[in-house]
Amino acid sequence: MLIVAGKGGVGKTTVSAALARMAALAGLTTLIVEIEGKSGLARAFGRVQPLTYEEVTLAPGGGRSGAADVRARTLTPDDALIEYLHDHGMRRISKRLMKSGAVDVVSTAVPGIRDILVLGKVKALERDAHADLIVLDAPAAGHAVTFLMSATGLLDAVRVGPIRTQAQEVVDLLSDPNRCQVLLVTLPEETPVNEVVETAFKLEDRVGVSLAPVVVNGLYPALTGLDVDPVEAAAASGAHLRNGEADELRAAAAFRRQRQQLQAEQVARLADALPLPQLHLPYLFTTGLGPPEVDVLAAALGDAVRALPEPVKR
């Protein structure tokens, strides 16, 4: 299982979609689990209806590519509790609890119980090998740490009973690098880099999870020839520039040079502060994200993964 986390606005859900598509193209059945419910994940695969608790197929497999399915669903604490009660023969009680707002009362009395309901369901999906790969589109970085720490907190608060058993099983999942890793996402900008470094150390120190390579999203492709004078370039190619176009081209080239330099500086700063391999994804010059864009990012992510150095054998 891979838990995708990052500051809001860095493209965490986009990376989740690309990651799932990359795995599916490699023949792995993939399940994306959406937590917050408003990420636009369904639209990225061309689906108009938002995701619900019921699992749906976003990208069917098969065909000449030999791809596997990409499936997805949303998890909420209320739905997870209802399913738990149904599975334990308490269907009537579950409806009354939802109508009475008992879940809100319990979550206030026992901090972390809402998160453990969701993580417990994710743990059950992983345990039952529901898919070759589960991609958890986690809450934004600020909430991600407390979300993943909920199980450890409940172990300290609850000594016996099914809640402690559930919490222990979730901790066992999160702390096993062969079953679960966290993939952090950032942009090549100062504030997102600062936050992803801080989040990485918090996750390792407080939660005990293993970190996968960090994804640097939204990198401008490097361009050459930005120092060439547009007037000279136009004359050499036989083109004609209208009044003002040369100045506009110079300004555009200056912006692109500055952008590339700033991004390179932040990528280097991230490497110095966080000793993790990096996976670079390109900035897509588009106003929307759909299946074609997801495929472009999935291909780029696949190339970046294949370019990673081989792990050192111990």
Between CA 7 and CA 190 the distance in angstroms is 12
Region 15-36: mean pLDDT is: 94
Q: What is the pLDDT of residues 200-257, one digit of tens each?
A: 999 988 888 999 999 999 999 888 888 888 888 888 888 888 999 999 999 999 999 9
Average pLDDT over residues 147-170: 81
Dump the DSSP string for 57-90: EEE--BTTTTB--EEEEE--HHHHHHHHHHHTT-
Mean pLDDT of the chain: 87
Domain membership of residue 42 (yes or no) is yes
Of the candidates 210, 248, 218, the residue with the CA atom closest to the CA atom of residue 230: 248
Going by pLDDT thresholds of 50, 70 and 90, the confidence category of residue 93 is low
Residue 193 has pLDDT above 90, yes or no: yes
- 22: in domain: yes
The model's confidence at residue 24, banded by pLDDT at 50, 70 and 90, is very high
CATH code of the domain in which 50 resides = 3.40.50.300
46-56 residue pLDDT tens: 998 999 989 99
Distances from the Cα of 8 to the Cαs of 36, 143, 183, 291, in angstroms?
A: 12, 10, 15, 22
Model pLDDT, residue 141: 67
Q: Where are the beta strands (DSSP E) in 70-171?
A: 70-74, 133-137
| 265 backbone φψ class: left, alpha, beta (φ>0; ψ -120 to 50) | alpha
pLDDT at residue 280 greater than cutoff 70? yes
Q: Check residues 89 and 122 and name the one with the higher pLDDT.
A: 122
266 pLDDT band (50/70/90 cuts)? very high
145, two tokens: 């740490």
**Residue 228, domain member (yes or no):** no
Residue 76 covered by a domain: yes
Strand locations in 88-180, DSSP E? 133-137
Number of domains in the chain: 1
pLDDT classification of 152: cutoffs 50, 70, 90:
confident
Domain that holds residue 130: 2-222+276-306
In our burial notation (b when 16+ CB lie closer than 10 A, e otherwise), range 213-247 reads ebbbbbbeeeeeeeeeebeeeeeeeeeeeeeeebe
pLDDT tier at 37, thresholds 50, 70, 90: low
CA–CA separation, 245 and 75 (whole Å): 53
What pLDDT is stored for residue 89 in this prediction? Answer: 59
- Residue tagged 């950032």 (tokens): 186
Within the chain, strands assigned E span: 2-6, 30-34, 56-59, 70-74, 133-137, 181-186, 210-211, 214-219, 278-282
| 271 domain residue, yes or no | no
Residue 218 zone, left/alpha/beta (φ > 0; ψ -120 to 50; rest): left
Q: Is 84 inside any structural domain?
A: yes
What count of residues does the chain have?
314
Banded pLDDT at 164 (limits 50, 70, 90):
confident
Residue 253 lies in a domain: no
Q: How far apart are CA 289 and CA 27, in angstroms?
A: 23
Q: What is the average per-residue pLDDT within 87-112?
A: 58
Closest-CA residue to 187 (of 109, 276, 99, 281): 281
Kindly indicate the confidence band of residue 161, based on its pLDDT and cuts at 50, 70 and 90.
confident
Asked whether residue 81 is domain-assigned, the answer is yes
Quick one: pLDDT at residue 85? Answer: 66
pLDDT digits (tens, 9 = 90+) for 67-78: 999 999 998 877
- Give the pLDDT mean for 264-271: 98
